[in-house]
Amino acid sequence: MIAKPKGTYDLIGLDAKLYNYIYNVVQGYMDNYNYEFIRTPIFEASELFHRGVGETTDIVTKETYDFIDRGERNLTLRPEGTAGVVRSVIENKLYGNQNGPLKYYYFGTMYRYERPQAGRYREFSQMGVEVFNANDPMIDAEVISLGYNLLKELGIEKFTVHLNTLGDLTTRQNYTAALKKYLKPHLAELCPDCQKRYETNPLRIIDCKADKDNDVLKNVPKISDYLTDESKALFTKLKELLTILDIDYEIDERIVRGLDYYDYNVWEYVTDDANISLGGGGRYNNLVKTLDGPDMPAVGFAFGIDRVITELKNILGSQEFTNNVDVYIMSVNDEEKMQALRIAQDLRLNNVMTEINSNNLSLKSQFKMADSLKAKFLVILNSDDLQKGLVNIKDNVTKEEVKIDEGEIVDWILGNI
Ligand code: HAM
């Protein structure tokens, strides 16, 4: 037997049902906010992620799936969705002459060569949104609240938005200098990765998982003390807007995010009990320019769908998503089976979930099958009645039976389910 690759999993059973449920809710939901669907390739030029996500990030240094194709091109399976959407906006000149924001959402698989564990896979799915040509904190508030309300709509209640700001370039330069000065005497106490990050990406030391409980990190300087007036004013405005929108948020200065493109506001949606990050995002005003596009501020976030599925399973249990068939059509001989198939088509075209006996089951087994599918009605065919144009319908709960004209089945069922 050939096994699935490490860190991947088959989407089956309840997980598959919840995936479709999320997908369907998202589609309707994004229309309300006037976001357009976009799909970009699963593989892109490797350079896109090196320049986009950042040379020194964990993702680019340790986690990408890189390959050379038969035409000698350096390609990478996308580790996240933002860089590809930015590339598409630039390449297709989607920004055109627009005055207003460009709003996109996507759904798809991402690939990171991470150490597999609960909630961390090598192939995983994200749903994300990206808004371009948008500088006002109103858009940050819209995007943050969109994700917040979407999780609630899906049935997840117990989470909080962990919010931080990385400020502008001056803020980050001043803060990074202060952080390095503070950390220098403690370098030996940090994990080996953080010792490297000290030179390459010191901000990431703050949210290091290995050093989470290290006392050194408990007393690091606070970025809020280094914000320029402009950065502070923007953050204050955003907090006001989130309060107006009734969003549960808390300031969490450990949120610095693992990708290099962020500036100003960053946030994560974190579950209250297990502290799991269901999604995260932020503003990235320089990425479009870095990837050779126009100077265009942007903001976005992505949910990890696999983690959202796990959270929904914890909340809902398995009962909510079992298939409850509306009608099971019972047939034994060839004539009955042909009619069963035709009646099933009529019902299915009228949005009635219908199942038939396609496996030559005995009548007794068909009754059992109908019960296991939780069928509400049984349509019981027999040749004698069919010749008179009649069919029997049995309510599988009350056990009441009626005999009606075959031509009235659809109307009868629609009137009774
Ligand atoms: P990210 O924080 O790297 O951000 O990923 C977003 C979410 O994807 C995480 O919060 C998590 O739920 C999920 N995720 C990440 N890695 C894994 C994994 N190995 N297995 C399962 N789930 C995972 C981004 O990807 C940014 N592109 C978000 C963004 C959009 N920022 C601006 N626009």
Look up residue 129 and give its amino acid. Answer: V
Smallest CA-to-CA distance from 128 within 293, 298, 286 is with: 298
Ligand 1: centre distance to CA 268 (Å) = 10
> What is the per-residue pLDDT across 52-76, written as a single tens digit (0 to 9) for each?
998 888 899 899 999 999 999 999 9
| Token digits of residue 243 | 């309060």
pLDDT score of 319:
61
Smallest CA-to-CA distance from 166 within 28, 92, 266, 310 is with: 266
DSSP state of 406: G
Alpha helices by DSSP H, 245-390: 287-290, 305-316, 334-349, 363-372, 383-387
Domains of the chain: 13-168+228-316 (3.30.930.10), 327-416 (3.40.50.800)
Ligand 1: centre distance to CA 388 (Å) = 62
Ligand 1 atom at shortest distance from the alpha carbon of 122: 19
Q: Which residues of the chain have pLDDT under 50?
A: none
Protein residue with its CA nearest to atom 15 in ligand 1: 304
Buried b (16+ CB within 10 A) or exposed e, 26-42: beebbeebebeebebee
CA torsion, points 187, 190, 196, 200, in degrees to nearest 10? Answer: -80
pLDDT score of 211:
82
DSSP state of 63: I
> What is the per-residue pLDDT across 294-310, written as a single tens digit (0 to 9) for each?
999 999 999 999 999 99
In whole angstroms, give the CA distance from residue 140 to residue 145. 8
Ligand 1: centre distance to CA 182 (Å) = 30
Contact predicate 378/330, CB 8 Å: yes
DSSP state of 120: B
Count of all residues that appear for the chain in the document: 417
DSSP state of 158: S
Ligand 1 atom at shortest distance from the alpha carbon of 81: 27
In whole angstroms, give the CA distance from residue 127 to residue 114. 19
In whole angstroms, give the CA distance from residue 283 to residue 130. 10
Ligand 1: centre distance to CA 317 (Å) = 25
Protein residue with its CA nearest to atom 2 in ligand 1: 280
Protein residue with its CA nearest to atom 17 in ligand 1: 120
Please identify which residue in the block is written with the tokens 């088959």: 10
Ligand 1 atom at shortest distance from the alpha carbon of 279: 10
Ligand 1 atom at shortest distance from the alpha carbon of 82: 27
Angle at 373 between CA 369 and CA 376, to 5 degrees: 105
In whole angstroms, give the CA distance from residue 253 to residue 256. 7
In whole angstroms, give the CA distance from residue 142 to residue 35. 12
In whole angstroms, give the CA distance from residue 292 to residue 299. 18
pLDDT score of 317:
73
Pocket of ligand 1 (CB under 6 A): 80-82, 112, 114, 119-121, 124, 126, 128, 130, 258-259, 277-282, 300-302, 304, 306-307
| Token digits of residue 279 | 């999604």
Which residues face 390 on adjacent strands?
405
| Token digits of residue 299 | 């903001």
Pocket test for ligand 1, best of 15, 77, 80, 85 (most atoms within 8 A of CB): 80
Ligand 1 atom at shortest distance from the alpha carbon of 120: 20
Ligand 1 atom at shortest distance from the alpha carbon of 59: 3
Ligand 1 atom at shortest distance from the alpha carbon of 257: 2
In whole angstroms, give the CA distance from residue 245 to residue 239. 10
Ligand 1: centre distance to CA 230 (Å) = 28
Ligand 1: centre distance to CA 126 (Å) = 7
In whole angstroms, give the CA distance from residue 84 to residue 78. 8
pLDDT score of 58:
87
Protein residue with its CA nearest to atom 18 in ligand 1: 120
pLDDT score of 320:
61
φ and ψ at residue 248, rounded to 5 degrees: -75, 110
| Token digits of residue 137 | 């904190």
Q: Alpha-carbon torsion 237, 242, 243, 249, what sign?
A: negative
Helix axes 409-416, 334-349, angle to 10 degrees: 50
CB neighbourhood size of 76 (10 A): 22
Ligand 1: centre distance to CA 177 (Å) = 28
